[in-house]
Amino acid sequence: MTVLQRVRRTMRGVRWYLAELTGETEYDRYVEHHKRLHPGEPVLSRREYERQRFERSAQPGARCC
Amino acid sequence: MKIKSVVTWTAVAIVGAVCWGVLALARGETISAIWLLGAALGSYAIAYRFYARFICKRVLEVDDTRATPAERLNNGVDFHPTDRRVLLGHHFAAIAGAGPLVGPVLAAQMGYLPGTIWIIVGVIFAGAVQDMVTLFFSMRRNGKSLGQMARDEIGVVGGISALVGVFVIMIILLAVLALVVVNALAQSPWGTFSIAMTIPIALFMGFYLRVIRPGKVIETSVIGVVLLLLAIVAGGWVAESSWASAFTFDPETLTLFLVIYGFAASVLPVWMLLAPRDYLSTFMKIGTIALLAIGVVIAAPVLQTDAVSKFAFDETGPVFSGELFPFVFITIACGALSGFHALVSSGTTPKMIEKESQIRLIGYGGMLMESFVAVAAIIAACILDPGLYFAMNSPAGATGGAVQSASEFVNSLGFVITPEELDAAAAAVEEDTLVSRTGGAPTLAVGMSDIFAQVFGGEGMRAFWYHFAIMFEALFILTTVDAGTRVGRFMLQDTLGNVYKPLGRVSWKPGLWFTSAIVVAAWGYFLWAGVTDPLGGINQLFPLFGIANQLLAAIALTVATVILVKSGKLKWAWVTAIPLAWDAAVTLTASWQKVFSDDPKIGFFAQRAQYSEALERGEVLAPAQDLDDMSTVVTNSTVDGVLSAFFAILVILVIGNAIIVCWRAVRATEPLPTTEEPWEESKIVAPSGLWPTAEEKRELAAVGAPAGGSGVRDSDESVGSGKDGGSS
């Protein structure tokens, strides 16, 4: 594996990690989950989904000292 | 393979033992911080490999054939199997806060050794055990909260005490953390400007995420972090311009601002302020902690403090009063054992874990990381000249607030610092003064700027790094204040909803304002009391905060011990019972001294008596300056004394109730019923640790999952879930 490929792979890994950590990929997971369990039903748009996500997180978890 | 592992672990053990040996034998000479790091990392590695594994295998009997709640109840929202590395990030971001940074700085008054020993030994046998065990028991109960588990497993008295305890402890926590921010920002236009700017930055990020680019969190966070760094640089310009006076406030005014901010933040929609701030503070937190760890390793600074100072054995320490036992343990708090983590371990994390065996990485490993942050903090405090350290951390009542009087006070303690040196230290970080900047944050910032300036950017960057460190601490303390106020409000709404129905409705505006106002008023009261206390708010309130946190840990360890005993594992109950006994001894001794000690420096009621008698005679006792100050002291010591007693009684109730339950369980011929969910088969294939073993790699390959990620066995779609991290 060349150095360039290694760098690319690492960058991809970092990006994947941050996207998972911040919940950016939550929408994709929702779409997949929804299509599998409720096939044929309409799926929320990204904008609508993100709004609902914030409503849900209105009750934040405890943060430590 | 076997031999390789034996060789490796022997080497790790030797490195750790040598570092401990150097720490133990070096006396009367300064030593490098590298030895502290080596002792910490070596001990963590051994504990993680052997003790944590023993607890998982023998005591808890984790079972990877058993499906976790994330797998069974997967709804894609709060329950969903999450990659272990991602979950470790989440969990760490939720447990790491200002506590492990501030506590060790204050504990440095007793020298670097007592604090370091407790941080390392405490985390291995108490803190990390508590986090992991709570995570495990909550996971086996579909992610139930600590309060709920206390009620189910111990009983109504235990449950209610735990619930009340959590609420009151939260209030004290918020007040003390807010006090740290106030002390760091008072009279500092640079710091105040930078922190004030985080509000428009967060509002902008919130708007951007909601309207312009929904869901693009990374992009938004990058913009936010850039703006944040700009705000720190701009703070330097503001401090030197004619605007400086507009951002220079006394502590009382800042308190008022914080209370107004806290109320506004808790009633505004989350997307506006809280969520974007949370992203910012998570990135800043992880980034800065990583920088600090790298900086300490590269700079390898020399510790200036004595290994054990004289304040460990007498009660005259100016930063906090009381002897080493129990007060060093109370003061360190979060870095070694933190009750608050039990709330995280029994909240979101157990609902997202993929495999039972991953509790070792996430619960135990996450807490080891937090403890490492505490070690870095104690290093940052101990590389300061002790004269400067005591000038910064002694209350204004003792130092008089001016460089001349502070220098004299420090000399009277037996350390040397000249007024010119104090002025030079303040000028180096472009602050007006460093005298009596209590609360730990400024001290840590000076230490961090010292380390960072050596590694990144040199002397010219010192002031920037100081304010960077202040910003980093203030930012995530304020995030804690936002989130904590909200959590407190929900708890209050929940409880009051039983009395008057509409109050329990989350969307009913008047109820929302009313309960928010109560929570803000409660912590605002203690914050105000701390800011105006002539004896020094940190000196008075920090022990209370430490006691509260450690008592919460006692509740969590009690719940864990009861569950072990009830499930027929009496012979392993010592794993949680020993840290519980130690923690109860520490906290109850501390509470006892805070309530009954004859020494007015320690006992709140002795202090009250001393000041109220003087007040009746019309006398003014230093450091109070007039009769108003005198009555402030009387009021504060009364409230603090009553609270100390109240905390102790709560915990005695919980432990008492638990002992009865354990007794019944031991006497019973069959195991008592617990609320564990029944076994169900797991189909997820995922590694236990950070790096997959050879065998785990084969299993992953068999289901077609990527090497580092996870996959699903024999399901309709027997393919890997495509989680492909940067692992190789």
Per domain, the residue ranges of chain B are 2-187+249-667, 683-728
Are the Cβ atoms of B218 and A14 closer than 8 angstroms? Answer: no
From chain A, the residues in CB contact with B76 under 8 A are: 29-30, 33-34
Residue, of B707 and B560, whose pLDDT is higher: B560
Per-residue confidence (pLDDT) for residue B293, from 0 to 100: 85
State which residue of chain A sits closest to B481, comparing Cα positions.
Answer: A63
Per-residue confidence (pLDDT) for residue B723, from 0 to 100: 45
Are the Cβ atoms of A50 and B210 closer than 8 angstroms? Answer: yes
Element (H, E) at B443: helix B441-455
Q: What CA–CA distance (Å, rounded) separates B346 from B136?
A: 9
Residue B722 has pLDDT above 60, yes or no: no
Task: Residue A20: name the closest of B378, B410, B509, B352 by CA.
Answer: B352
Average of per-residue pLDDT values in chain B: 91
- What are the angstrom distances between the C-alpha of B285 and each of A15, B175, B274, B523? 18, 21, 16, 24
Are the Cβ atoms of A62 and B484 closer than 8 angstroms? Answer: yes
Given a contact cutoff of 8 angstroms between Cβ atoms, the answer to whether B102 and B437 are in contact is no
The token pair that represents B488 in the structure block: 């407190």
Task: Residue B132: name the closest of B372, B371, B374, B367 by CA.
Answer: B367
Q: What is the mean pLDDT of the segment spanning B470-479?
A: 88
Are the Cβ atoms of B80 and A29 closer than 8 angstroms? Answer: yes
Residues within 8 A of A (CB atoms), B 253-292 only: 269-271, 274-275, 278-279, 282
Q: Which residues pair with B685 in a beta bridge?
A: B711
The CATH number of the domain covering residues in B2-187+249-667: 1.20.1740.10
User: What's the distance, Cα to Cα, between the start and end of chain A in Å?
Assistant: 45
Question: How many Cα atoms occupy the beta-carbon half-sphere of B479 within 13 Å?
Answer: 31
**Distance of residue B498 Cα from the nearest chain A Cα, in angstroms:** 19
Per-domain boundaries in chain A: 1-39
Which of A50, A55, A62 is closest, CB to CB, to B343? A62
Per-residue confidence (pLDDT) for residue B724, from 0 to 100: 45
ipTM at complex level: 0.88
Task: Residue B283: name the closest of A44, A17, A51, A46 by CA.
Answer: A17
Which of A16, A49, A63 is closest, CB to CB, to B483? A63
Q: What CA–CA distance (Å, rounded) separates B304 from B301?
A: 9
Q: Does A20 touch chain B (CB under 8 A)?
A: yes
Task: Residue B102: name the closest of B297, B290, B335 by CA.
Answer: B335
From chain A, the residues in CB contact with B209 under 8 A are: 50
Highest average pLDDT, of B344-348, B383-387, B491-495, comes from: B383-387
Q: Does A27 touch chain B (CB under 8 A)?
A: yes
pLDDT digits (tens, 9 = 90+) for B232-284: 999 999 999 999 999 999 999 999 999 999 999 888 888 898 889 888 988 88
**Distance of residue A32 Cα from the nearest chain B Cα, in angstroms:** 9
Per-residue confidence (pLDDT) for residue B523, from 0 to 100: 96
Q: Does B85 touch chain A (CB under 8 A)?
A: yes
Question: How many Cα atoms occupy the beta-carbon half-sphere of B476 within 13 Å?
Answer: 29
Q: What CA–CA distance (Å, rounded) separates B536 from B529?
A: 10
pLDDT digits (tens, 9 = 90+) for B676-688: 999 999 999 999 9
Segments in A1-65 forming alpha helices (H): 3-22, 26-37, 46-56
Can you tell me whether residue B521 is helix, strand or coil?
Answer: helix
Q: What CA–CA distance (Å, rounded) separates B70 from A65?
A: 27
Residues within 8 A of A (CB atoms), B 287-346 only: 333-334, 338, 340-341, 343-344
Task: Residue B558: name the closest of B668, B661, B671 by CA.
Answer: B661
Per-residue confidence (pLDDT) for residue B718, from 0 to 100: 42
From chain B, the residues in CB contact with A23 under 8 A are: 217
